[in-house]
Structure 1
Amino acid sequence: MTATLPPWLAEVPAEQPHSPAFVTVSGAHLYGFPSVDSDVDLRGAHILPLEEVVGLRTGQETITRSWERNGVEVDLVTHDLAKFCGLLLRRNGYVLEQLLSPLVVATSPIHQEMIAAAPGCLTRHHANHYLGFARSQWRLFERSGELKPLLYTFRVLLTGIHLMRTGTLVADLGRLTALTAGAPPYLPDLMAAKRSAEHAPPPTGLSDPVRLAHDVARLTAELEEAKGASRLPDAPASADVLHDLVVRTRLAVRVAPS
């Protein structure tokens, strides 16, 4: 984990009601532009025991918690392993980014198997996820004028472009700016401004609406073009692998008799 993340995050997975397959950090920390007052977004997969899957009293497929510790807001969302794997097969960019996040709080052999299966989950249709996310964040920026949704707009467009062209998922905007020809040169300055405050507007010299709208439209067109030219398949190839992983995990995990 990076120095900007509190060391006590490693204690969080053990405090949850079910064993984690993995827990990683998502959000602004993953995207490369956390603010001094950013909350910490924890995402992952937990493992429901067999008794809470096949019986009448089933366990929570999704667990959501928010709390504050030592002045840091923490937002935790985990899905049961089967639900998470199902989302991986539905061209969901969010869960792919969570699975492949390099900011790992807790891992396991199951996590490593999921990472190995991730390339087989990628399709050209993941571009639709990033196009839709970019549109919603751009509309939010137009309404609010805040820097955060503007950076999210550029981040998802560049992530989508890079994914379609290379088959590799990169979520860090700093890396994407260096890797992507035609990335707006002012992005590092916007990222630096975002670090000082979570809900600040863009700096005056970097907030020309005409230039911003032009660059968003240009990158949107590049993502659509990259989707059309991508060598990624139309459908995921890892369904059988993930099915086998879920079945093996279910049969191996039991609740001790009370």
Structure 2
Amino acid sequence: MTPTILDALDTIERERNVRVLFAAESGSRAWGFASPDSDYDVRFVYCHPRDWYLRITEPRDVIERMLPNDLDVSGWDLRKALRLFLRTNVALYEWLGSPIVYRENSVFAARARALLPQYFQPASALHHYLGTARTTFADHLDRPEVRLKKVFYFLRPILACRWIEQTRAQPPTEFSKLVAADWVTAHEREVIAELLLRKELASERDTEALDSGLQRWMRDQLAHFTQIGPSLARRVDAGPEALDALMAELVDA
């Protein structure tokens, strides 16, 4: 699919008069547990010519394309992306950590990754991941029969919460790195490895019974991170100056 994705990015640049600064896979393919029939979710950051920003109105700052072959291509304008970066937008942080990168402006990518620790807020990020896990459990896993895909949509944010608890840093995008962390027990790794083997043979819609012990563990994890969330002190807010400078450099390039 890579040539198709690159062609789609080239077409967007021509039709919308923008420069794609960064494009990467997101979702289950970036996380490392895609099903055989998983979609391709390409996310990108783009930049307009300088004059586009010199106006009193702010035009639409999102580009979205649904293309054949289950290809979802969506991007944010640079100003929107940097405003979200300032507020610990973990989706954007995950794009920057994706193992599957299709396009990368070296200035944008290197500077953004270097600035990430300065703007990362542990409490805010944990709140995001915990909310994702809690919603997934309530909507899809608190029942006798579940889709294996949804189990991993719970496991990943919960292990991301544990990463934040231990390091106060942005978790890696790849699920395998979360599982390999020192604070994940051998038993937890064994259970996850078995689930991964079963998931590789299942389609997106297949369901099966969920072990009651695993459901209890899930509830315990939700209760634990709900309790520790308020203890993660907010760091002193970093100002926007470094991001302003990055935007000015990229728009004038």
TM-score by length of 2: 0.84
SS of the equivalent of 2:166 reads: helix
Aligned to 2:159: 158
Count of residues in Structure 1 that have an aligned counterpart in Structure 2? 240
Measured at CA, do residues 121 and 192 of structure 1 come closer, stay the same or move farther in structure 2, by a change above 3 Å?
farther
State the Cα distance separating 1:145 from its structure 2 match. 2.3
CA deviation profile, 1:140-185 (whole Å, cap 9, x unmatched):
2137822222211110110121133122421222222221423353
Instruction: Give the share of equivalent positions with the same residue, in percent.
Output: 22
For 1:59 and 1:213, the matched residues in 2 are separated by 46
Aligned to 1:29: 29
Does 1:201 pair with 2:180? no
State the Cα distance separating 1:235 from its structure 2 match. 4.3
Question: How is 1:1-258 mapped onto 2 (pairs within 5 angstroms)?
Answer: 6-16=2-12, 17=16, 18-55=18-55, 59-68=59-68, 72-108=69-105, 109-125=107-123, 126-142=125-141, 145-166=146-167, 167-179=169-181, 180-182=183-185, 183=188, 185-196=190-201, 197-202=203-208, 204=209, 207-208=210-211, 210-224=212-226, 227=229, 233-237=234-238, 239-250=240-251, 252=252
For 2:131 and 2:170, the matched residues in 1 are separated by 19
Measured at CA, do residues 236 and 74 of structure 1 come closer, stay the same or move farther in structure 2, by a change above 3 Å?
farther
CA deviation profile, 1:92-122 (whole Å, cap 9, x unmatched):
2211111221211100021221111111121
Tell me, which stretches of 5 or more residues in structure 2 are unaligned?
Answer: none
For 1:129 and 1:107, the matched residues in 2 are separated by 26
TM-score by length of 1: 0.82
Measured at CA, do residues 192 and 12 of structure 1 come closer, stay the same or move farther in structure 2, by a change above 3 Å?
farther
State the Cα distance separating 1:80 from its structure 2 match. 0.5
State the Cα distance separating 1:226 from its structure 2 match. 5.8
Measured at CA, do residues 140 and 116 of structure 1 come closer, stay the same or move farther in structure 2, by a change above 3 Å?
same
Which stretch of the first structure deviates more once superposed, 173-182 or 96-105?
173-182
State the Cα distance separating 1:28 from its structure 2 match. 0.4
Question: What is the Cα-based RMSD across aligned positions, in Å?
Answer: 2.5
Measured at CA, do residues 124 and 57 of structure 1 come closer, stay the same or move farther in structure 2, by a change above 3 Å?
closer
C-alpha contact (below 8 Å) 1:29/1:40 kept by paired residues = yes
For 1:58 and 1:237, the matched residues in 2 are separated by 25
For 1:226 and 1:52, the matched residues in 2 are separated by 44
